[in-house]
A and B are shown apart, each in its own frame.
Chain A
């Protein structure tokens, strides 16, 4: 046994050893990055990518390693936890080793990071974009961000169940017919053994489907009617339509509307996959989770809310993932970063990793399954992407106007009001939604200035 003095000495010794090891660990980590630069001799600069999508973390890590092997440029990829991107970015950007590559979600996200964005106008990657729409411009007209993935959302449906109920997708061409089908399924719910819609969960894992994605439709139609791209004061012209689609969702669902505040994204996915509901509003990113239903069995419908002429409306397609390069990084790092993203979207390895499905990564992992807005985009194996493309080929896609929503605060306000209304569907509670939508927009837009 150690006596007391020996014990203290031993403890101090151990603490010191641990401390020194810790220091060595840190410096080892830094030099390790530079030391591994064996591939290219003139490799200068390094890349630090703060990734937004946790579901693609392993692929980015692998792609970074591949790039380092090929060129000798060290690439660090860190991924923020789901829903924690802004928080993580705020603290990472304050460090001396700040991210050289980060992302914003659109004009509103750009507003808070514009002082950190490098002008991308004359870069190689700009030349690879298929459409100028996918470049995000700042107030000065310079390109500050480049979309790197295009996504779509609508009402995903189960073909087999819809047929069991006696309908096909051709029966649904506007809000009226969607309502008819949904209400008919609800009236025969016990006999059929399934509901029309999955639970419109308002838990934070799922509420963005309604406070952000569904709310996009009334905003899109209002912008379209007024011929504008963004506004500081929304009028709420199409809020009555927003109400009727929300009513349809919550009153023809698998659960009582009062329980929505507790329902999660997993609940809704599970209901859809296990055949408890026919319709489920979500997007192409959800493919991996719903693939179980079977590719032939998956269908996609536009979200009809009851606007004049909506028979020609397509799927909601756009991007809220824009790459930005940190202006404050050293010149070498900026160049290294630009080279890296250009390589990602032009090289075989890069595009296969970004667009590929099962087994696309050299390690055998599935690829990221993206549709990328660059010339070297590869055909997608994601059925939902292909369905969206098919529909949008004859119809007018709905733009993603939700990136102009004034703030997260606004979305949360609308979400809370929707939840309150769902539990008790009175006009007074709907007025709460309207207030959060219209007045909230004005005050948040003013606060952001």
Chain B
């Protein structure tokens, strides 16, 4: 077996490496270069230095999108993880029909973001219509709508990860705690949560980066209405790049800034939660 790997390693490495270079490294390098250029089509660019970055930071809508997205990421992170954790807790008890409910909660995750956005837009507008309102008329309706939509979509996914976490806790540890006289709360805080830190790390990482990167749901649910006030970062970048003549480079610069911010936040979050993980 080992000999085979030695001989055939290029078969395993090269296709993936090529795909990674073509699909990631080259576009990323090109993106960095283009953020310093003025261009209409990506093959025909002239170098302009950092003016794109200056224009990006001067864009008030971009600043608004920044805070709006940060707030959205935090709120959706909290809502998704608390609800998913509680659901996972409930569905790992010995109750009837847990498999059925696991399937039901997971299902929304299988529907694409654009479709979900339009379906929820109909639902929200149908309700708001009673008061002659619509989701596109107020940025906080849009905000609440996005949180509800994303929570509905992602709770099931996070729940599955938490369920795996619950199931990996050895019974003897919990039993030992019980014998020592711990009540359910002490067991949860002192045993279950520390033992599940790795699940929590991955779920928080996924939900915070998803929150920052959210695009299709935003596009189809509110499209940034009213007046771009419900526009999240990814949609703002897209609209800058494709929607505004002469702003292609600025959109690219925003994308680079966005990338740095998401990577930084992701790494910090990983470091913080990792440090709380325990070895079994």
Contacts and interface: CB of A to CB of B under 8 A. Distances in A.
A94 B43 contact: yes
Nearest to A115: B40
A93 interface: yes
Nearest to B244: A409
Interface string A427-449: 00000000010000000000111
A100 interface: no
A419 B40 contact: no
Interface stretch (A40-48, A164-172, A258-266, A287-295): A258-266
Nearest to A98: B41
A256 interface: yes
B245 A448 contact: yes
> Considering residues A86, A91, A423, which has the most beta carbons from chain B within 10 angstroms of its beta carbon?
A423
Interface residues of A, number: 33
Task: Determine which residue in B44, B136, B223, B247 has the highest number of CB atoms from chain A within 10 A of its CB, and name it.
Answer: B136
Interface stretch (B71-79, B105-113, B225-233): B225-233
Contact of B223 (A112, A204, A409, A447): A204
B243 A261 contact: no
Interface string A70-95: 00000000000000001100110110
A223 interface: no
Interface string A101-123: 00000001001110110000000
A419 B136 contact: yes
Interface in A405-429: 407-409, 412-413, 416-417, 419-420, 423
A420 B137 contact: yes
B201 to A, nearest CB: 34
Given A90-B40, A261-B134, A416 B226 contact: yes
Give the contact-size bracket for chain B: 20 to 34
Given A419-B225, A420-B226, A420-B227, A408 B243 contact: yes
Contact of A261 (B42, B44, B137, B228): B137
Contacts of B226: 416, 419-420
Contacts of A447: 244, 246-247
Nearest to B137: A423
Given A261-B136, A447-B244, A113 B227 contact: no
B224 to A, nearest CB: 8
Interface stretch (B125-133, B145-153, B178-186, B256-264): B125-133
Contacts of A94: 41-44
A417 B227 CA distance: 7
A259 B134 contact: yes
Given A416-B225, A417-B227, A448 B43 contact: no
A55 to B, nearest CB: 22
A93 B133 contact: no
B20 interface: no
Nearest to B55: A447
Given A94-B41, A94-B42, A416 B227 contact: yes
B244 to A, nearest CB: 5
Q: Is the interface of B mostly helix, strand, loop or mixed?
A: loop
Nearest to A12: B11
Nearest to A96: B43
Contacts of A113: 40
Nearest to B225: A416
B67 interface: no
A413 B132 contact: no
B129 A259 contact: yes
A90 B136 contact: no
B245 A111 contact: yes
B242 interface: yes
B132 A261 contact: no
B243 A409 contact: yes
Contacts of A116: 40
Interface in A373-423: 407-409, 412-413, 416-417, 419-420, 423
Contacts of B43: 94
A436 B61 CA distance: 14
Nearest to B245: A112
Nearest to A113: B40
Given A259-B132, A407-B244, A408-B243, A90 B41 contact: yes
A390 B227 CA distance: 40
B219 to A, nearest CB: 11
A112 B245 CA distance: 6
A421 B258 CA distance: 33
A204 B132 CA distance: 19
A261 B41 contact: no
Given A115-B40, A416-B226, A423 B246 contact: no
B147 to A, nearest CB: 20
A423 B225 contact: no
B227 A413 contact: yes
A87 B192 CA distance: 51
A93 B42 CA distance: 9
Contact of A256 (B132, B135, B247): B132
Contacts of B242: 86-87, 90
A169 to B, nearest CB: 33
Nearest to B44: A94
Given A261-B135, A409-B244, A419-B136, 16 more contacts: A90-B41, A90-B42, A90-B248, A93-B40, A94-B43, A113-B40, A261-B136, A262-B125, A262-B136, A407-B245, A416-B228, A419-B137, A420-B137, A423-B137, A436-B227, A448-B246
